[in-house]
Structure 1
Amino acid sequence: MPRPLVDTETIITVALDAMEDPREGPLTARRLATRLRCSTRTLYQQMGKQEELISALLNHYFVKTAPELDSTLSWKDAIGAWASALRLAILERPNLSRHLSTDNRPALIEFTRPLLAALIASEFSEAVAVEVCRSLVHVIVSLTLGELETQAHRYDETAIEGDHLARLLSIDANAYERSPDGKMPPPVFLQSIHWLIGGIELQRQTQVART
């Protein structure tokens, strides 16, 4: 009698936990199959190749963690709230989130829909709102992955030689310092969001002046 397939939801739940388990290495089909007590053949039959499994995990996780933005927020505050939510979601699942390559960015579509709706409600055209969301996704993902990678590398600023620019670039890791619980974004994150919002506002003002 053929062995029944493992429930997809069970596979995803177990895979997410296994991926973040600090006691084990990278997630492999063999290790996941062992946890699920099934064969790798069953796993491949249910989820496809490793790349397909990773895509399924990303989609599941970021759909589940999509924020509900307060409809009373201004578009600027909506961007800030959404950006903070995406940052925390990435930090919550660092090993999974490291797979957010350009090819896997579509996993963030549903996570971004609340922001798109907030921008359109604030009288952004749909085309402009989509471009704003696209830019924000790339910036927030890059900043947060940078935060993950640089937390372990700290520098003594007084020991770095060179001119002011060389010092600033060399101590970039220090700009990623965050609160002990990780909830307060580092200065470079907050500053980048502030500049992005300023640029968006300036573009809107320019477009209004031309009409």
Structure 2
Amino acid sequence: MSGQADELSETEIELERFVAKHLPACDSQRSHRGPQPSITFTGICDRAREIIDVEGLPALTVRRLADELKISTRTLYKRVGSQHVLLRGVARIHVSRMNIRVRELDTWETTAWKWCTELHRALRAHPHLTELLTDHDVQMLSRQSKDLARLATREGLPEGAATAACRCLVNVTVSDALRSTRSVSHDDTFGGGETATSTADLFRTVQWIIAGVRAEFTTTSWTDAEIAVGSKTPP
């Protein structure tokens, strides 16, 4: 429990720093009427996240969010600044709350496949929130795969290759989840059969990436420097 509490605390700190960069500094000489509500940017984003998760982005309005938080719309604007900043905060919370743990199995390959499966399932379980993800959010997910990269290096893969492979796995998994959720939300006639085919294709792609990485680095000598700059190509 303490580890989770620390993790959420760090997320809140990061979010408060994020919004501070986008909001103008408060005028210390400005007068305020009455006591200021004790509401943080993180608290606002969390409530917005709950609304979007259940009902979708169109259900989120300034008036509704302010009413549910029991604050004025003016206070809401002062705390958030813009819809863009609010949605970036919502997406960051969504990513940090997933935190898919790496459960070590018999090999790195099976561990990586299982992790990608769980990530894909978590993303599709919250389609309205997953639609908000940007490239920066995907980078945050890539950082969550560091334990997976560590296991790969322990099995003999160069550190640079392990990191690059995990980044590729995250990218293809997130891309398929985004395509799937957007297809469903924007087309009510979209059938489950195509979704099932897409999921099967994704997992096949993941397996090919994993197998290809293993085969390439057991037959070819690469240095991390060559991997980083892409100066060496497979034979």
> Which range, TM-score by smaller chain?
0.7 to 0.9
Q: 1:126 aligns with which of 147, 159, 168?
A: 159
How far residue 24 of structure 1 moved from its aligned partner, in angstroms, is 7.3
TM-score of the superposed pair, with normalisation by structure 1:
0.73
* The one of 205, 209, 224 aligned to 1:192: 205
Aligned partners of 1:62 and 1:110 also within 8 Å: no
* 1:61 and 2:94 correspond: yes
Stretches of structure 1 lacking an aligned partner (at least 5 in a row): 155-172, 179-184
Q: Comparing 65-74 with 188-197, which one deviates more in the overlay?
A: 65-74
Structure 2: distance between partners of 1:188 and 1:74 = 22
Q: Does 1:25 align with 2:38?
A: no
In structure 1, what is the equivalent of residue 178 of structure 2? 145
Aligned CA distance change for structure 1 residues 48 and 129 (closer, same or farther; 3 Å) = farther
Q: Any stretches of 5+ residues in structure 2 without a counterpart? A: 1-33, 223-233
| Separation in structure 2 between the aligned mates of residue 73 and residue 55 of structure 1, nearest angstrom | 38
Q: How far off is 1:8 after superposition?
A: 4.2
The answer to whether residue 115 in structure 2 is matched with residue 82 in structure 1 is yes
Corresponding residue for 1:96?
A: 129
2:108 and 2:133 map into 1 onto residues whose CA distance is 26
Match of 1:202 among 208, 215, 221: 215
Q: Name which of structure 1's ranges 33-42 and 20-29 shifts more when overlaid on structure 2.
A: 20-29
Which amino acid in structure 1 is aligned with residue 195 of structure 2?
Answer: Y
The question of whether the paired residues in 1 share the 8 Å contact of 2:91 and 2:129 is answered with yes
Q: Percent identity between the aligned chains?
A: 23
Alpha carbons of 1:43 and 1:81: their partners in 2 closer, same or farther (altered >3 Å)?
farther
Separation of aligned partners in 2, 1:55 and 1:126: 31
- 8 A Cα contact 1:94 1:148, kept in partner: yes
- Answering whether residue 139 of structure 2 is matched by residue 106 of structure 1, we say yes
Contact 1:54/1:99 (8 A) holds in 2: yes
CA RMSD of aligned residues (A): 2.8
Counterparts of 1:3-22 in structure 2, within 5 Å, are 3-22=36-55
Structure 2 residue identity aligned to 1:142: S
| Equivalent-residue separation in structure 1 for 2:50 and 2:158 (angstroms) | 40
> Which of structure 1's runs of 4+ aligned residues deviate more than 4 A?
none
The CA distance in 2 between the partners of 1:37 and 1:130, in whole Å, is 45
Q: Say how many residue pairs are matched.
A: 186
Native 8 Å contact 1:15 1:32 kept in 2: yes
1:16 and 1:95 map into 2 onto residues whose CA distance is 9
2:8 is matched with none
Check whether the contact 1:150–1:176 (CA below 8 A) recurs between aligned residues: no
